[in-house]
Amino acid sequence: MAGLHKSMKAKLQNTPNLKLILLGFFLLFTIFMILRSNSSSPPSPITQTRAQAQSYPPTQSTPIIHSCSKIPPSLVESILHYATSNTTPQQTLSEISVSARVLAKKSPCNFLVFGLGHDSLMWTALNHGGRTVFLEEDKKWIETIQEKFPQLESYHIKYDTKVTMADDLMESGRMPECISIGDLKFSECRLALKELPRVVHDMEWDVIMVDAPTGWIPEAPGRMGAIYTAGMLARGKKEGDTDVFVHDVDRIVEDKYSKEFLCGGYLKEQEGRIRHFNIPSHRTSLAMPFCP
């Protein structure tokens, strides 16, 4: 199983292609929009007063001062990494754009990602100033990524399921203990991931991405628990909504489980192999149905 997982991590293409070039342009555009937003913010009263004093009337001796916004270090590192990398990210540019648009509106925010990969630095950069946490099943892979990018916040989690259990778990997921809102740490639902790092339970998540664990072979853990848990974290939020993304919905488990536990009524968009759901807090009205 470990060998198969390593092969998955190694299967990413090792030659530069158009997608990497487009991704580089995409990151540059994101940085440009951040800097433009910063430079176009309303001036402070002091700055405004000084500007007015200098404009009545301007003289030839009045110096012209140009403001300059520095690119944050995390964004600089992302640009350098992807500009020089021969590794293709797991998602296509059009798929990345779906979640990037949401992050452009919500960041800085709390962003939880199931999976740690070659695109993790990008997600952290797109959520600049926020907190981005990664949950990964492979300890050795965490060590590899942390050695290269020690600033990424990642935690090891274990899964006790297999893809072959998906149908049985789907049935159990419809039981009362699985559709009631409560503390996931004490949930009696078989699908709930109860042994998660404390940070997962302590934080209120604004955005959640499910792009792990592995699930393309019968003996792999599958994303049943991750998808269910993402939906329950969103419903259990004290207030506000949570944007949840599920990748690889061309596969049976990701397709069925996202529709069942994230609900078609909450589906906002699908692009390629990624689905975007927007789930409101159910704590504000415990009478809300599990799905609209």
Model pTM? 0.77
Specify whether the CB–CB gap between 228 and 236 falls below 8 A.
no
Q: What is the pLDDT along the chain (292 residues), one digit of tens a residue?
A: 444 444 444 444 444 455 555 555 555 555 555 444 444 444 444 344 334 434 444 444 555 554 555 666 656 665 655 555 566 667 999 999 999 999 999 999 999 999 998 899 999 999 999 999 999 999 999 999 999 999 999 999 999 999 999 999 999 999 999 999 989 999 999 999 988 999 999 999 999 999 999 999 999 999 999 999 999 999 999 999 999 999 999 999 999 999 999 999 999 999 999 999 999 999 988 789 999 9
Distance CA 291, CA 277 (A): 12
The pLDDT assigned to 24 comes to 58
Lookup: tokens for 217: 């072979």
* CATH class of domain segment(s) 2-38+70-280: alpha beta
Q: What is the pLDDT of residue 70?
A: 64
Q: Kindly list the domain boundaries of the chain, sorted by start residue.
A: 2-38+70-280
Name the H helices within the chain.
2-10, 18-39, 45-54, 73-84, 93-106, 120-126, 139-148, 166-172, 176-179, 198-202, 224-235, 252-258
Q: What is the pLDDT of residue 161?
A: 97
- CA–CA separation, 198 and 213 (whole Å): 19
pLDDT of residue 51: 40
Predicted local distance difference test score (pLDDT) of residue 55? 42
